[in-house]
A and B are shown apart, each in its own frame.
Chain A
Amino acid sequence: MSAAVSASSHRFSEARLAEIAELVKRYPGVQSALMPVLYMAQEDFGYLSMDVQQHVADVLGLRLMQVREVVTFYTMFREKPCGTFLLEVCTNAGCMLNGANELVAHMCQSLGIKVGQTTPDGMFTVTEVECAGACGGAPVVQVNNVYHEKVTPESMDALITHMRASGGAK
């Protein structure tokens, strides 16, 4: 979706601006609203292009550098587009002990991509992430931030088939 949106439309809607105005009141300083506003921007525009980051800076009255520092520090803010389905596999200790590495290898093989890549149809991106905080359900895969626990290569294949069949409708 993001790629199709022209640069000039990277502006928050009036409704979003009203939401941001309310949000800012919840904090002692306006800069505290930066991270939540970046999440809104990512939701609205797909990813945080330089143009979007400048818009966020303008809306909050911050310098571009203040926005850049935050965007580049935190892994959940994305400066590049990703697939319709972002598959984030935890490979930290708890998941690793329960087959996460084998799971990632299987997923990459099934999808024909390497870790960090997106399928040519733009449908799936596979990444490895740090501990998801759900080690009791290891191995854990987040699909667009929804947790799937005790995932097996078989259950992952079924999930991928299901996602593909849904035609990219999140």
Chain B
Amino acid sequence: MIPSDPKQVKQICFDRINIPDVNTLAVAREHGAYEFLPTVLKTFEPAKIVDEMKASGLRGRGGAGFPTGLKWSFVPRNTGKPTYLLCNADEGEPGTFKDRDIMRFDPHLLIEGMIMAGFALNVHDAYIYIRGEFLHEASVMNEAIREAYAANLLGENILGSNYSMHLTVHRGAGAYICGEETALIESLEGKPGRPRFKPPFPAVEGFYRCPTVVNNVETLATVPAILKHGGAWHAAIGVPNNTGCKIFSVSGHVNKPGNYEVPMGTSLRMLIEDYCGGLQHGSVPKVIIPGGSSTPWLTAEHYDTPLTYDGMTKAGSMLGSGAIIVMDETADVVAVTRRLAHFYAHESCGQCTPCREGTGWLERIMIRVEDGQGCDEDLHVLKEASTHMAGRTICALADGAAAPILSMLKHFPEEVRARALGKAA
């Protein structure tokens, strides 16, 4: 269901976000934090929680959009090994800045979601892997965790139940690749973040080769509302197969950049014009990168695309993490692409040849193109190399590196060629 005015829909992750001091336990509790937790711990069967999550239709908010309940159901029971819950708070995809707001403003929402998820999955040790740059957010989380321990919301026998869970914040140190879940696991094991070959998937063999669930911050922050109101309640928001609300991080050439939580299915145009105050220049965008820098670009013809996983796929891109980078008519698409090529070359972990070598090629060629020192062969190699990198590596970083290049070539062939040959106006 998408009402004509999406602003009427109650927000899920941002429900308490504007309440002063809601990062403290006392204020968070005044506004409902942990209110439903005793009911969950005392009356819910773990299997029933997984069923509610499946019924909710919630899809992972980190980028891949995999159904959360289904992911949880893959965890084998009674293996004799511990099961771990890892919260992915690495938030490194260029354009994405939503998890930061959940953590710095409403940390108890994430903690509550993790306790509930941990209870459902029989987890006793959980970790929040937060990107190293988020020092402030890590300290807010740590203070909230300290308060939660003191109130017996974490630790042994939570709220007098039989359930115990410990929660630790672990800082990354500036490596984009650690947002990929198996790289995150490697990193949490104290190693370079090089993605693992799959299978086995983390649900079966993850952290220290034990069953592991890795969920994004926003995903886990949605769990308390789903358990309180029921999976069917969540499934009724948004559109089928794309349920609930989603936080969109909008940046670039808009008048009011920021995070906006809206029901899934709201149109791109409505988000940009009604929420973000429209474009800085002109009336239609030149480029919209809808799901973070690794997703294929959309242009003005896609301005009315609904913000759903399916809608974005149909338009030829991906919803990703909901990071929308908007470029108006003033944007230098070649310069932006060159900058993104640098990013992927810098962040390639180096273990797969197509990515390690390919990202460097792409950057070097893009520098020539930007400087007007290129040739037609360069444009050909850009396309060939990008095409051959994507899908031929352990993780999707190479696909992400290819996306902006291929998008630039597809949507702006004349502009790019003129620039490469030094004929730009």
Q: Which residue of A is nearest B327, CB measured?
A: A97
Contact across chains for A35 and B100 when beta carbons are under 8 A apart: no
Q: Which residue of B is nearest A131, CB measured?
A: B94
Contact across chains for A135 and B323 when beta carbons are under 8 A apart: yes
B133 touches which one: A26, A93, A133, A136 (CB < 8 A)?
A133
Q: Does B93 contact A (CB under 8 A)?
A: yes
Q: Does A96 contact B (CB under 8 A)?
A: yes
- Return the CB mask of B151-195 against A: 1 if under 8 Å, else 0: 000000000000000101011111110000000000111111100
Given contacts A26-B166, A31-B191, A32-B188, contact A94 B174 (CB under 8 A): no
Q: Does A91 contact B (CB under 8 A)?
A: yes
Contact across chains for B174 and A74 when beta carbons are under 8 A apart: yes
A14 neighbours in B (Cβ, 8 Å): none
A131 neighbours in B (Cβ, 8 Å): 92-96, 176, 293, 343
Q: Which residue of B is nearest A71, CB measured?
A: B173
A70 neighbours in B (Cβ, 8 Å): 190-192
Given contacts A31-B191, A69-B191, A77-B173, contact A138 B339 (CB under 8 A): no
Q: What's the least CB distance linking B363 to chain A, in Å?
A: 13
A129 neighbours in B (Cβ, 8 Å): 133, 174
> CA of A50 to CA of B115 in the docked complex: distance in angstroms?
41
> CA of A137 to CA of B259 in the docked complex: distance in angstroms?
11
Using a CB-CB cutoff of 8 Å, which residues 246-281 of chain B contact chain A? 249-253, 257-259
Contact across chains for A32 and B190 when beta carbons are under 8 A apart: yes
Contact across chains for B136 and A28 when beta carbons are under 8 A apart: no
A136 touches which one: B175, B176, B257, B339 (CB < 8 A)?
B257
Q: Does A75 contact B (CB under 8 A)?
A: yes
Q: Does B201 contact A (CB under 8 A)?
A: no
Q: Does B233 contact A (CB under 8 A)?
A: no
B97 touches which one: A39, A77, A133 (CB < 8 A)?
A133
- Return the CB mask of A127-170 against B: 1 if under 8 Å, else 0: 00111111111100010011100000000000000000000000
Q: Does B64 contact A (CB under 8 A)?
A: no
A94 neighbours in B (Cβ, 8 Å): 94-95, 251-252, 257, 325
Q: What's the least CB distance linking A55 to chain B, in Å?
A: 16
Given contacts A34-B190, A73-B192, A93-B325, contact A134 B170 (CB under 8 A): no
A20 neighbours in B (Cβ, 8 Å): none
Q: Does B302 contact A (CB under 8 A)?
A: no
- Return the CB mask of A80-104 against B: 1 if under 8 Å, else 0: 0000000000011110111000000
Contact across chains for B257 and A92 when beta carbons are under 8 A apart: no
B93 neighbours in A (Cβ, 8 Å): 131
B253 touches which one: A32, A75, A97 (CB < 8 A)?
A97
> CA of A98 to CA of B257 in the docked complex: distance in angstroms?
11
Q: Which residue of A is nearest B178, CB measured?
A: A74
Q: Does A18 contact B (CB under 8 A)?
A: no
Contact across chains for B135 and A145 when beta carbons are under 8 A apart: yes
Given contacts A31-B190, A36-B171, A135-B251, contact A147 B95 (CB under 8 A): no
Contact across chains for B339 and A93 when beta carbons are under 8 A apart: yes
Q: Which residue of A is nearest B167, CB measured?
A: A26
Task: Give A contacts to B, CB under 8 Å.
Answer: 26-36, 38-39, 66, 69-70, 73-77, 91-94, 96-98, 129-138, 142, 145-147
